[in-house]
């Protein structure tokens, strides 16, 4: 599993509020271009965000499905990306203090063509991308009004 982490100066519930807002998905996920729909109940297990991935005009309409969820602690997703396959993404929130949270983001190819790429090569591409994803989560959690979960 390719993992990055970021320590964010805000409590876990603020970060989870960002993750729980399916309409904000394209704001924090690098590569997601547009959210088309969000299932009622997101982020309950089995619910989906329907989105587009990739650069315009080559976008693919796809989805991300919740596999596991523990409020303010964990969100595990299957992110579909057309022929590239499915990425298993795990976002774990660990309180460091009353107002600080460490977010660990793990990524692995679960199915499709990405499984054929050596993990060391994927890591070179994905660590910077996933670090940027966590930076975006931080910006939204700290600087924007986020809906209550």
CB atoms near residue 59 (< 10 Å) = 15
* This model's pTM is above 0.75: yes
Count the domains in the chain: 1
Give a yes or no: residue 72 inside a domain.
yes
Tell me whether residue 149 is in a domain. no
Q: 111 lies in a domain?
A: yes
Mean pLDDT of 81-96: 92
Residue 42 inside a domain? The answer is yes
Reported confidence tier of residue 21, pLDDT bands at 50, 70, 90: very high
Query: Which pLDDT value is given to residue 56?
Result: 83
Domain range for 106 is 2-143
Q: For residue 148, is it within any domain? A: no
pLDDT per position as a tens digit, 98-146 = 999 999 999 999 998 888 999 999 999 999 999 999 999 999 999 986 5
109 Cβ contact partners less than 8 Å away, ≥ 6 residues apart? 85, 86, 87, 88, 115, 117, 122
């Amino acid at each position: 599993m390719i993992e990055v982490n970021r320590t964010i100066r805000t409590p876990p519930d603020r970060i989870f509020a960002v993750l729980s807002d399916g309409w904000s998905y394209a704001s924090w996920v690098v590569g997601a271009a547009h959210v088309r729909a969000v299932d009622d109940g997101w982020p309950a297990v089995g619910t989906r965000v329907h989105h587009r991935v990739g650069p315009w005009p080559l976008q693919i309409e796809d989805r991300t499905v919740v596999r596991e969820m523990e409020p303010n602690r964990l969100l595990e997703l299957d992110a579909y990306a057309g022929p590239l396959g499915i990425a298993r993404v795990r976002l774990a929130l660990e309180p460091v203090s009353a107002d600080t949270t460490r977010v660990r983001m793990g990524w692995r190819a679960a199915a499709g063509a990405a499984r054929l790429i050596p993990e060391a090569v994927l890591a070179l591409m994905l660590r910077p991308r996933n670090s940027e994803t966590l930076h975006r989560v931080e910006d939204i959690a700290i600087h924007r009004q986020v809906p209550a979960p």
